[in-house]
Structure 1
Amino acid sequence: MNRLTKEQRLQIVQIYFENNGSVREVYRKLRPFYGRHNRPSEQLIRLTMDRFRTTFTLCDNTHPQRRRTVRTEETIAAVEQSVEEDPNESIRHRAQQLELCPSTLWKILRKDLGLRPYKIQLVQELKPRDHAMRRDFGVWAENEIDLDADFHRKILFSDEAHFWLNGYVNKQNCRIWSEENPHETLETPLHPQKLTVWCALWAGGVIGPYFFRNNAGESVTVNGDRYRAMITDYFVPELDGMNVDELWFQQDGATCHTAHVTIDLLKETFDERIISRNGPVNWPPRSCDLTPLDYFLWGYVKSLVYANKPETLGDLEANIRGVIANIRPHMLEKVVENWTCRIGLIRASRGGHMPEIIFKR
C-alpha cells in the first residue's frame, strides 16, 4: 500500500501515541481495519510518523512553497535595483535571487519597468589607427560627392566570398518530431566543398559572379596570380561598352589584391581611380561596414541560394547565378544611396562604429 488518506494517517498517529511509540504495535492493531494483507507495512508506518514529526502535518507537501507573485512597489523597486546592478542576468537566475516567480519577474520587467531584452551585436574589431583612417576616407568621399553629386554611383565595389555546399544545415533549426528518438544523423565531410565567388557591384548593376577554379575545373581559393588572371580574362572584358574613364574601382586590403603588380595592372584600366590599400586612394582596413557587398550582397544571396538545399556544387553555382541575375536595379540604387549615408555616419562617429546602423530597428 503506497498512499494513505488523511484519515488513515490520523489513525496511525493516534494508535502510535496510545501505544508509547511502538511501530510494531500499530502494525498489529491495524489488522482488524485492513485485514492481514492490505494493512500498511511497518516501513510505511515508520515513514508516516517521521514525516509527521518533521512537518507537523498529515498532508502531502511534495512541492516547494510558492514564490512571491505580488507586484508590489517594494518588489518592483527591488527588481529595478537588481537590473541596474547587473543588466545581463537571466530571468531564471534573477528570479531565484529575488525569490520571485519567473512569470511575475517577467511582468515587472516588461509592464512595470518597460524594459526589453536586447542581444549583443557583434562588430568588426577596430585597431587604434583604424579610426583616423576611416575618418579620413569619409572626409575624402564626402568631398568627392560635393564635387560630383553622382560620384557614389560611379564606384565599382568588389569582393570575394565563400559559399559552402552544406551551408543550409543548421542543427539549431532542425527538429524531427517523433514519439521515439529516430537517431537521425547527417554525415558531413571533414573539409566541406565550397565555391569562391567574386563580384563587382555598382549603381548600374552587378558584374559577376566569377568562380575561381583551377585548370581541372575544381574550385580554389584566391591568390595573386588567380586574382590578376580574373582581372585580365574576365573583369576587363566585362567592362566593354562602359565609360571606364568615369568609373572608380574599389577593393579591400586582402594581400592578393594589393600586390604592386596587381595595382599596376588595375591602373592600366582605371589610372588613378583606384580605392585600395597601396592604391592611389587608401581603403581603410577592417571596414566591411562600408562595402556594399558585405553589408548587402553576400548576405542577400546566401539567404536565398540554400532554399532548395543544393546537393552538388553545380546546383549551388546555378542558384548563385540565378539570385544575382534577379537583383533589380532599384535594389542597387538603394544600396548605393545607403553607402553615402554610411560615409556621413563614419565622419560623425570619428571613424568608429556606426550605432545608427548597428542598432537600427
Structure 2
Amino acid sequence: MTFYTPEEYADMLICYGYCDCASAQARNEYITRYPGRRVPNVAVFDRVYRRLRETGSVLRQNTDMGRPPINDEEQDNDIVQRFRADPTTSTNIVARDLGLSQWRVWFTVHTFGLYPYHYTPVHVIEEGDPARRLDFCRFLLNADVEDPDFLRNILWTDESKFNKDGITNYHNAHYWAPKELRNPNKKRVKGSQRRFSVNVWMGIISNHLIGPYFLPDNLDGESYENFLRADLSDLLDDLPLKLIRDMWFQYDGCPAHFRRSVRNWLDTNYPNKWIGRGGPLPWPARSPDLTPMDFHVWECMKSLVYSEPNPVSSLEDLRERIVDAANKMRTTLTTGVVKTGLRRRVRQCIRNRGGHVEHEL
C-alpha cells in the first residue's frame, strides 16, 4: 500500500478541485504540474477527497489500514438469527434494526457462510399433475432407449405473444461508462399507450427451427385447423423426407387445440403419432418445463427481439425482428437442444416425482 506525504495529498486536492472532481483529468494535471513526483492511481484522488470530508484529515486513519477484527459473539449471533428467522430479509433492514453498519452485517453473514440467492420462478402444478407428468416422462425415456432417434423425431410446437414493449429485467440492466462521467443518467423507453402484439407459431424438430408463422391474435379452433390444413405442410417442405416420415407432432392443451376436427385431422395425418390433449400420448397439463419451445426457443427469441436499444416502432418492425431472430437462431441450433436438454429435464422430473425441475437445472 502506497503512502503519500501531507504536501502531496494537498497538491492532489488542488488538482482535483481544479479539474471539477474528475479523477482522470486530475491525475493528468498532477503529472503536468509535478513531473518529478510519484504518479498516484486515479482512485487516490477520489479517496483523499472523501477522507478529508469524512474525517477532517487527508492522512490515513487506522480504519484505512484494514478491517478491524470482530469479536462480539453476541452481536454475531443476533445478526445470524435474524437471517435464519427470516431468510428473505436484507442486510439493510438488519443493520437498521440492530443499529449496526451494513458492512458489519455483510461481514458477519459471509463469515457464517450465508450468501444471497435469487428465486427461480416456476409454473403452478395442480393436484394430479405430478402423476401425469411422471407417466409422460417415463414414456419418453423408454421410447428414447428403444429408439435413439425418437426425441429428435418429435416436432415440438407452440404459440406465443410478442408485444410492442416486451419484458425488460431492469434488475440486471446496466450501462457502463467512465467514472469521471459520474452518473450519465441514461434512459430507456419502458412502455407506451400505443400497444400492439402478434401471435407467433413456431416449431422445433431435431436441429430444424420451423416458422415463424403469424396466427390471428385471438386464436380459435377453426383458425388453428385452417393453419394445419393449409400452411403446415409448406412450413415443413425443407425437412428431410425421412424426418417427415418418422415425425411425431406435439402441442399443448389450449382450447383451440382441443377442437374435435383438429384432433381428427391429427389422427388422419399422424396416426398414433401425436402428443397433445386427447391424443394417443396425452400431454401433461401445466408442463412448459418439458417442451423445448418454452425452455429454449421462446426465451432465446424474445431476448433477440427485444435486445435492440431502440423500441419497437410498428407492427411491421416487430414482425421483421421476429423473422430476423429466427434466422439468427437457425445458425446456432443443434440437436443437443432437443435431445440432451429434454432428456436431462425428463430425468430430473422423474427424480422429483413429477414435481418442478427448473430450480435444480
C-alpha change, 1:317 and 1:259, in structure 2 (3 Å) is: same
| Identical pairs, percent | 29
Q: Which residue of 2 is the match for residue 237 of structure 1? A: 234
Counterpart of 1:237, as a letter, is D
Q: Does 1:189 align with 2:188?
A: no
Relative contact order higher in (CA < 8 Å, ≥ 6 apart): 2
After TM superposition, give the deviation of residue 151 of structure 1 in Å: 0.6
Match of 1:340 among 336, 339, 343: 343
After TM superposition, give the deviation of residue 96 of structure 1 in Å: 2.8
Deviations 1:277-316 (A, max 9, x none): 1111100000000011111111101111123333111111
Q: Which residue of 2 is the match for residue 75 of structure 1? A: 75
Give the number of aligned pairs: 282
1:183-262 → structure 2 map (5 Å cutoff): 188-189=192-193, 192-213=195-216, 220-240=217-237, 242-243=241-242, 244-262=244-262
Counterpart of 2:147, as a letter, is D
1:318-337 → structure 2 map (5 Å cutoff): 318-328=320-330, 331-336=333-338, 337=340
Larger radius of gyration: 1
The two structures have a TM-score, normalised by structure 2, of: 0.71
After TM superposition, give the deviation of residue 201 of structure 1 in Å: 0.5
Q: Which residue of 1 is the match for residue 43 of structure 2? A: none
In structure 2, distance between residues paired with 1:263 and 1:273: 12
Contact 1:205-1:329 within 8 A present in 2 as well? no
Deviations 1:90-131 (A, max 9, x none): 212212333322110011112x11211112222101001000
In structure 2, distance between residues paired with 1:171 and 1:349: 32
Match of 2:316 among 293, 314, 317: 314
After TM superposition, give the deviation of residue 238 of structure 1 in Å: 2.8
C-alpha change, 1:93 and 1:169, in structure 2 (3 Å) is: closer
Q: Which residue of 1 is the match for residue 139 of structure 2? A: 140
The two structures have a TM-score, normalised by structure 1, of: 0.71
After TM superposition, give the deviation of residue 145 of structure 1 in Å: 0.8
In structure 2, distance between residues paired with 1:184 and 1:80: 39
Q: Does 1:270 align with 2:270?
A: yes
After TM superposition, give the deviation of residue 166 of structure 1 in Å: 2.2
Counterpart of 2:235, as a letter, is E
Contact 1:121-1:358 within 8 A present in 2 as well? yes
Q: Which residue of 1 is the match for residue 119 of structure 2? A: 120
After TM superposition, give the deviation of residue 329 of structure 1 in Å: 6.3
Contact 2:207-2:333 within 8 A present in 1 as well? no
Contact 1:199-1:206 within 8 A present in 2 as well? yes
Contact 1:198-1:210 within 8 A present in 2 as well? yes
Segments of structure 1 that go 5 or more residues without pairing to the other structure are: 1-67, 214-219
In structure 1, distance between residues paired with 2:349 and 2:198: 33
Segments of structure 2 that go 5 or more residues without pairing to the other structure are: 1-67, 176-180
After TM superposition, give the deviation of residue 359 of structure 1 in Å: 4.1
C-alpha change, 1:157 and 1:71, in structure 2 (3 Å) is: farther
Counterpart of 1:221, as a letter, is N
